[in-house]
């Protein structure tokens, strides 16, 4: 178990900044300006140069296959918002630089390898933990970064803009770990959270079952009390991090006759007798993200593995779902901006009938519409982010954000694939990857139909 870290001491110029120290140091700098040595270290995390200012005169379309600018750097910063994003503080932007360097070094070169393998290796999890990029919103006393949700959003945005799919960092850190942090007792927090933040322990949560979909109240996995143990039986499907996970938070019925009031959250370690992983599910997109079936056959776990009170599971789920759904909206907004960047670069270089594709009025009008939609999504997401960091979003607000962001993204991606012509159907092009990877955003975390139902209840 790692001890909570205080503000880092002086480092050599060759040392790499961890995300955790970046958060803490940046916050300290804002209040202790007179500390010059700290400011010197602070400057090392300055944001990367804006790629819009160089390199495009030598642009070649094949560079877009990996999301690269003509000079080989990532095309992440070309979206010209023409609005100021005031939601982030300086420490958030410091953290962004750290995250971006990690993604460039550890994720971009390995995306194709992960796609072929159908999963992400554990090494990158451990490296993310070493850099302080896991559990950034968790308390420092449990190995976390002590940051706020803004730091989690920075991580999600940078992964989305780099077109990275596979590492389930966001699910692990921002969706699953908070259940343990907010509902777990002190012993559970100290047992599981430090190793989750170091990357030694990968988390998953098992909600969905075959035949139930978004209807959580209809789950049939049971946990029957037997002395000081629960005996769990049932099956789950579409479980993110299902193959790599070391512990699974299982949503199950501890009282089969009590409906939603009979649901509980119980942690199952992967080495428990009777626990079995099924096949890796073959998805349309996100090929590197391991998604699996899980089976529980008389799995015996101690009562001490239950999170919170018995019968309160549904309430706990409803408390965390707004953040989960809003996280999907955050990624959708960043993906939309990145896809627009790639498409603009492509159509301004691609020739057809003696002109660039950009020269046709249809192209300009289509992309003008998408630009307007992207700005609308960005303004909405940033507004809700500011509100969430102050008070937390309601179920309806998170549903609005997810519905609008993901539906807008889906329609825009279809238009942008069309503008790429045949190359838009080639997986080596970023637009094709986004098209297949993000289709599921209108399904997981609650379908668009469920979001509409939630919104309509308060009309």
What are the catalytic residues?
324
Identify which of 212, 282, 278 has the alpha carbon closest to the alpha carbon of residue 251.
212
Q: Would you call 292 exposed, middle or buried from its count of C-beta atoms within 10 A (0-12, 13-18, 19+)?
A: buried
Identify which of 127, 209, 113, 205 has the alpha carbon closest to the alpha carbon of residue 166.
113
User: How far, in Å, CA of 202 to CA of 123, rounded?
Assistant: 12
Identify which of 351, 405, 412 has the alpha carbon closest to the alpha carbon of residue 381.
405
Token digits of residue 45:
């995390």
SS3 392: coil
User: How far, in Å, CA of 159 to CA of 76, rounded?
Assistant: 10
Q: Tell the residue number behind the tokens 């997401």, with chain if given.
A: 381
Q: Which run of H or of E encompasses 355?
A: strand 355-356
Sign of CA dihedral 353, 357, 358, 362: positive
User: How far, in Å, CA of 284 to CA of 424, rounded?
Assistant: 16
Token digits of residue 443:
């399904």
Q: What is the CA radius of gyration of the chain?
A: 22
Neighbouring residues of 411: CB distance < 8 A, sequence distance ≥ 6: none
How far out from the chain centre does Cα 281 lie?
A: 20
Identify which of 188, 248, 252, 243 has the alpha carbon closest to the alpha carbon of residue 220.
252
């Amino acid at each position: 178990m790692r001890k909570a870290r205080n503000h880092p001491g002086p480092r050599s110029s060759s040392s790499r900044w961890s995300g955790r120290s970046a958060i803490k140091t940046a916050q300290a700098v804002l209040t202790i300006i007179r500390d010059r040595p700290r400011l010197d270290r602070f400057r090392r995390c300055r944001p990367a140069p804006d790629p819009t200012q160089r390199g495009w005169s030598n642009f070649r379309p094949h560079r877009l296959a990996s999301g690269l600018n003509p000079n080989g750097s990532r095309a992440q910063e070309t979206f010209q918002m023409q609005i100021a994003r005031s939601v982030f503080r300086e420490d958030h932007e410091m953290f962004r630089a750290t995250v971006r360097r990690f993604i460039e070094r550890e994720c971009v070169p390995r995306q194709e390898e992960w796609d072929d393998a159908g999963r992400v290796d554990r090494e990158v999890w451990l490296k993310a933990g070493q850099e302080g990029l896991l559990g950034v919103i968790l308390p420092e006393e449990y190995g976390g970064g002590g940051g706020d949700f803004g730091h989690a959003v920075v991580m999600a945005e940078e992964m989305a803009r780099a077109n990275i799919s596979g590492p389930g960092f966001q699910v692990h850190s921002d969706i699953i770990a908070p259940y343990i942090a907010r509902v777990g007792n002190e012993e559970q927090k100290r047992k599981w959270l430090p190793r989750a933040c170091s990357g030694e322990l990968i988390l998953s949560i098992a909600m969905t079952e075959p035949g139930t979909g978004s209807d959580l109240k209809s789950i049939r996995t049971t946990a029957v009390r037997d002395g000081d143990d629960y005996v769990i039986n049932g099956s789950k499907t579409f479980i993110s991090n299902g193959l790599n996970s070391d512990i699974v938070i299982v949503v199950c019925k501890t009282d089969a006759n009590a409906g939603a009031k009979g649901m509980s959250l119980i942690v199952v370690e992967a080495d428990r007798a009777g626990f079995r992983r099924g096949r890796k599910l073959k998805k349309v997109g996100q090929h590197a993200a391991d998604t699996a079936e899980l089976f529980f056959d008389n799995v015996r776990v101690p009562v001490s593995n239950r999170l919170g009170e018995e019968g309160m599971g549904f309430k706990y789920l409803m408390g965390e779902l707004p953040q989960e759904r809003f996280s999907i909206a955050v990624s959708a907004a960043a993906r939309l901006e990145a896809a627009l960047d790639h498409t603009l670069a492509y159509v301004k270089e691609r020739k057809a009938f003696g002109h660039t594709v950009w020269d046709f009025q249809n192209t300009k009008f289509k992309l003008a519409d998408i630009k307007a939609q992207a700005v609308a999504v960005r303004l909405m997401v940033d507004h809700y982010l500011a509100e969430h960091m102050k008070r937390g979003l309601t179920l309806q607000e998170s549903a609005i954000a997810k519905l609008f962001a993901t539906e807008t993204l889906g329609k825009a991606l279809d238009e942008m694939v069309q503008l790429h012509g045949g190359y838009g159907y080639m997986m080596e092009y970023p637009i094709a990857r986004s098209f297949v990877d993000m289709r599921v955003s209108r399904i997981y975390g609650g379908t668009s139909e469920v979001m509409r139902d939630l919104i309509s209840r308060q009309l």
